Structure 1
Amino acid sequence: MVDFLDEGADIDHQDGFEELIATVAAIHTSPTRWLQHTAETMSPWRLASAANSPAPAWVRAPAAWRELLQLTAAAHGDDHVPLGHLDLKTDHCRRRPDKRLALIDAETLRPDLTGLPDLITLAYLAQVNGRALSPRWTRQAYRRHTNDLGAQWSDADLVRALIAFAEATGLTSLRGVDQ
């Protein structure tokens, strides 16, 4: 929760956009920094639990979903809660009084999707409104930031996870982030 923030964050240049990626990576890896009572409360959504449960009804290809969960667990660990599905928009990037970037309007965040939908959205945002940051650059920046925060993604496994996510969910475009 943050107070009302009226100052927008400029993400129209590479440094600003990389700060957005770093903020998203911090959210995706936040379960490693949760207090014990939060981690215990969220334990039903751990990857180890999800891997031993049937695929959600909205998943079109359960085998691809299992591959996605396995790849995510290999990168983050079995105890990881796969947070994702931020409502990423330029208008939702704001500055705190201390000038750090904050994301607002994130009530869509879910503990069952992984961060891959957000990475796909980042690749899209990197190409609109005059931005010309390549999807590959976006993926590499995301991987670097998540790994700096404790994940262990290889580039090949991150691409495999993106493809598995698309197959599992019926997503028709990865916005080039798999290239």
Structure 2
Amino acid sequence: MKQTKISLLVVVLLASCAAPTPATTVTPTSTPLSFTTIPEAGGTPTLTVTPDASLGTVEGHFSWSQPDTETTLPIPEVTVQLDRHSGEYLKYKVKTESDGHFVFANIEPGQYGFGIYMNLQLDERQCDAPEYVYSRDLGWQHYASWLKIDVFYDVIFSSTDITVNPGEVVVLDFALKCL
């Protein structure tokens, strides 16, 4: 009988430890978002950023310029980077889309260096040693190039900063041209 009382006491103690605690009440807040999503025909949402007049934008395209023709081919998946050199250090990175387009939206005003990190499969290259053609001369420095297995890597930085002003769009287009 004494064992039954002790067993019953242990069961009661364990049950009281496992009792659920009262739930915490969470009050949802409503914060306006600065973007909207618009569904595309395939059902994939597209992110649309609402421009802020106190911030700037940097955008452009990467493409292959075909010899002896006006035709260009987009270069997707190129990583581009902005590094702010004035005020608080800021770094922004994006990749070019399937059409070769990139955009940095709502960028804090200031002076920025521009970096290009291109990783192309050998079969994606249109020629062995393309010439780089830039829409703006920013003193481009070819920092490094190397081949690893079947991927060719190029790293290029601007030696002159671009200025991003509030409400302005800076356009930087890049083409690789086969000679």
| Fold match by TM threshold 0.5 | no
Q: Which structure has more RCO (C-alpha within 8 Å, separation ≥ 6)?
A: 1
TM-score category of the 2 structures, normalised to the smaller one: under 0.3
Select the structure that is richer in helix: 1
TM-score normalised by the chain length of structure 2 = 0.26
TM-score, length-scaled by structure 1? 0.26
